[in-house]
Structure formats: structure tokens, C-alpha cells
Amino acid sequence: MKVAAGRKLCVVTQTSEAAAAVPQPPKPGRGSRTRVHRAWFVAAVTFVTIIGAAAFRSVPGLLIDPLHDEFDWSRGTISAAVSVNLALYGLTAPFAAALMDRFGIRRVVAVALTVIALGSGLTVWMTAAWQLMLCWGLLVGLGSGSMALAFAATVTNRWFTERRGLVSGILTAASASGQLIFLPLLSWIVERHDWRPAAVTVALAALAVVPFVWLLLRDHPADVGLKPYGATEFVPKPAPVPGAARRAVTVLFSAARTGPFWLLAGTFAICGASTNGLIQTHFVPAAHDHGMPLTTAASLLAVIGVFDVVGTIASGWFTDRFEARRLLAVYYSLRGVSLLFLPLLLVTPTVQPPMIFFIVFYGLDWVATVPPTLALCREQYGEDSAIVFGWVLASHQVGAALVAFLGGVARDTFGSYDVVWYASGALCAVAALMALVIRRRPVGVATTA
């Protein structure tokens, strides 16, 4: 009996030692016992960060006429700087996602906000068009690219396994919320105090968010001993991934060998062309051409931001429940129809009920395409989906940059923007068809690029 008991004690002791040797997840702190998961606080900080950084996206459309009047630069020249900004915004995104894997979210976002503030602040002293290209095109473009939707995709992928569609919709809507906050303010500043105080406001807004990022944002749930929201098992923090640029390019080459990548990139390029490149850049000057006051046109654009928040969050909710391809087809079809009617609504300097209907309708559809596009990237490319989405976003911004430039050239050439509205409406119909062609990935197939 004593021998048996001794053997049993020995076995228990050995088992305990073996269990102790296995790496265990950090013990959750007191905060993890609260009803609200820490992931929602991280999402809230991300939301505030994107709102603060959204000031730079509210300015380009407000600067075209003031810069044209002060420096006598053509609208095509000014639009070229905006197009450089938009292109770099997209082309930087996939590398930013890889850099976040290498150096962490906090460091990358804090540096990006600082670069945005530097570029915007330096525009106050510019006297030549190349300086606009350098400050607003290059510096703000690079900084904003690191704050692109790849940031929201990385946070969503790391901190959530459930409600990803809803969270991606909320974080996407943050940019529209920032536009809602800053557009009326910046338009008022431009109209009353010139464009330079508006540029300084953008710089200060970007700097004001840096402390929130550094103090409150966390790179991974494992940093605070938590599982991702909705996960059943603890997920260890992955080791830093070296060669961020090489990885971004490798993922691109791998994804580019698949058909869905080109369909997603093509549809998202048309999305950027019909939103950031067209409406966000040229709606205010187009309305101003017909006698509408600058503040009124900017306020209408801000109202688009109001309904964009509603539409994007609703799109995230729909994405969790319905087929993403069909959602994209519906969104692009409705957007194209609305753009075809816009030239008829811009013939009067006053705001009429049909224009209000357009603003509400278009606002609901503004970036509703993001949650289903993110879901399709996640479905097709799994672990690499954030980087793949970064490249898809690059195509979004290339499309935006192209139309931002061509819109200014069309205005200089034809004296109006009508041809641009009609062409963009037709492109949206093409995007709807492309979305329906994307094939569903078979269940059980590996989902890494």
C-alpha cells in the first residue's frame, strides 16, 4: 500500500512538473473580468485615431479654388498633387500592414501621424507647385497610407474572431465621422481666414491623436493576457516578421496569380474613382461653379459623412449575414445610377430636395463596399488577408488618383464636370458585374496566399 501510494505520488509530481514546463498564457488581469472585452476598447481607440487623422482627407476639395486664385496654378496642376497623395495613400498601405507585423501597430501609427502633421504644416510656407507635390503629395500621402484601411484590417484580424464585419464597418465609418467633424470647420476657416489656418488645423489634429495611440493602443490581445474576442483558445503573440517590404511584395506576387485578386482590385479601383477621386475631390468646386457657397457645398459633403457612418456599419452587419459578392453588386449598381443623375442636380446654387435625396442616398453607399471586400479578402487569403487588402486598397487609391487628376483636366478642358459624372456612373455598372464574377472559395481549401 505504501509503495503504491508512493508511486502514485511520484506520478502526480511528474505530471505537475511536466504541465509546469508547458508555456502557459499570461494570467488575465482584473480588467479581463469585466463584461466588456478589451478588444472593444482597442477598437474605440482605433476609431478615435482614424477620426483624428481624417482631417487630411477633408482638405483637398477645399484647397483647389483658393490655391488656384492665389498662385494661379491650373486645376489640373493642383489635382495632380491630390492624385499623388491618393496614389501614395494606397501604395503605402500594404507595406504599412507588413510594418505593423514587424514593429507593432503603435509605432507605425504614431510615426505616420507625425509625418502627416509635418507635411500639412510645411504647406503654409510653399510658394511653388512642386512644394505642394512634396508636402501634400509625398509626405501626407505616405503618412496617410500608413493610416489607411489596412490599419483597421490589422486591428480587426488580431483582436476579433467574431463580429469582424461589424467592427470593420465601424472602423471604416470612422473616416467619414472625421470628415463630418472637420469639413464644416475647415470650410469655415478657409472662407473666413484663408487656407493656411486650415492646413495648420490638420497638422494639430494629427499630433493630438499621437498620445492616445501611444498610451492606449495595444498590438495584440496576448499583450494583456486575453483571447481575441469570440475566440475559444488563447492565441500567442506571433514573433516579429522580418523583411516587411519583401513580405508585402511576396504576398502581392502570390495573390496576383489568382483571379479573385484582380476582380477585387478592379472593383475597388472603381470604388476609389467614384468616391475619393470624384466626389471628395471635385464635388465642392463643381457645386461652387454653379454659384453654391463654399460652406454650403462642404456641409453637403459632410452630410454624406453622416449617412456614410450609418451605411458602413449597416454594411458590416449585412456582411456577417449575407453573400458579400451580391452586396457589392448591389452597392455599385446603386452608386452608378445616382451619379448619372448628379449633373441634373447641380444646375442651381440652392439646395433642393432632389439634391438632399442624392446626398443621403450616396452617403449610405459611400464606403459600404469596404466590409464585403474585406470579407472576400479574408475568405480568399486567410492569414495574409490584411496585406492583400492593402494591395486591393492600393488599386482603390490609384483609381481615385487617376480620376482626381482627370477630373481637374476635364474641368479645364470642357468647362464643367459633366463628362466625369457620366463616365464614373458607367464604371460603377462594370464594377457590379465584376463583383458577381468572383468565385466562392471551396470549403476546406487553404486560405493563405
State the average pLDDT over residues 14-38.
50
Pick the more confident residue, 160 or 386: 160
Cell (9 digits) for 161? 474572431
The predicted structure's pLDDT at residue 2: 46
Q: Is the pLDDT of residue 359 over 70?
A: yes
Under 8 Å CB-to-CB from 319, ≥6 apart: which residues?
165, 168, 169, 327, 371, 372, 374, 375
Q: What pLDDT score was predicted for residue 28?
A: 46
pLDDT, tens only, 406-420: 888 888 888 888 888
Phi, psi of 229 (to 5 degrees): -60, 125
Give the pLDDT of residue 57.
Answer: 65
Note the pTM of the prediction, 2 decimals.
Answer: 0.66
Indicate the range of 77-86, 113-122, 284-293, 438-447 predicted with least confidence.
438-447
Q: Which of the four pLDDT bands, split at 50, 70 and 90, describes residue 176?
A: low
What per-residue confidence (pLDDT) applies to 18?
44
Contact by Cβ (8 Å): 421, 340: yes
Q: What is the mean pLDDT of residues 120-134?
A: 87
Three-class DSSP labels, the chain: CHHHHHHHHHHHHHHHHHHHHCCCCCCCCHHHHCCCCHHHHHHHHHHHHHHHHCHHHHCHHHHHHHHHHHHCCCHHHHHHHHHHHHHHHHHCHHHHHHHHHHHCHHHHHHHHHHHHHHHHHHHHHCCCHHHHHHHHHHHHHHHHHHCCHHHHHHHHHHHECCCHHHHHHHHHHHHHHHHHHHHHHHHHHHHHHCHHHHHHHHHHHHHHHHHHHHHHCCCCHHHHCCCCECCCCCCCCCCCCCCHHHHHHHHHHHHCCCHHHHHHHHHHHHHHHHCHHHHHHHHHHHHHHCCCCHHHHHHHHHHHHHHHHHHHHHHHHHHCCCCHHHHHHHHHHHHHHHHHHHHHHCCCCCCCHHHHHHHHHHHHHCCCCHHHHHHHHHHHHHHHHHHHHHHHHHHHHHHHHHHHHHHHHHHHHHCCCHHHHHHHHHHHHHHHHHHHHCCCCCCCCCCCC
Give the mean model confidence (pLDDT) for residues 30-48.
Answer: 72
Residue 20 is predicted with a pLDDT of: 43
pLDDT at 265 over 90: yes
Model confidence at 180, in pLDDT bands (50, 70, 90)?
Answer: low
Q: What domains appear along the chain, each with residue ranges and CATH number?
A: 37-228+240-437 (1.20.1250.20)
Residue-wise pLDDT for 183-224, tens only, equals 778 888 888 888 888 888 888 888 888 888 888 788 888 877
- For cell 500592414, what's the residue? 97
| pLDDT digits 0-9 by tens, 291-310 | 888 788 888 877 887 788 78
Residue 169: its pLDDT value, please? 74
Report the C-alpha gap between 205 and 53 in whole angstroms.
Answer: 7
Q: When comparing pLDDT for 124 and 20, which is higher? A: 124
Res. 262: pLDDT tops 90: yes
Predicted confidence (pLDDT) per residue in 1-19, tens digit? 444 545 444 444 444 444 4
Range with lowest mean pLDDT among 176-190, 212-226, 391-405, 422-436: 176-190
pLDDT band with cut points at 50, 70 and 90 for residue 333: very high
Residues 227 and 51: their CA atoms lie apart, in Å, by: 27
Q: What are the pLDDT digits (tens) for 82-110?
A: 788 877 877 777 777 777 877 888 888 88
Return the bridge partners of 269, or none. Answer: none
Per-residue pLDDT tens digits for 268-297: 999 989 987 888 788 888 888 888 887 888
With cut-offs at 50, 70 and 90, classify the pLDDT of residue 328. very high
- Model confidence at 165, pLDDT cuts 50, 70, 90, reads confident
Q: How far apart are CA 103 and CA 239, in angstroms?
A: 10
Q: What is the pLDDT of residue 30?
A: 43
Reading the block at residue 424, the C-alpha cell is: 464614373
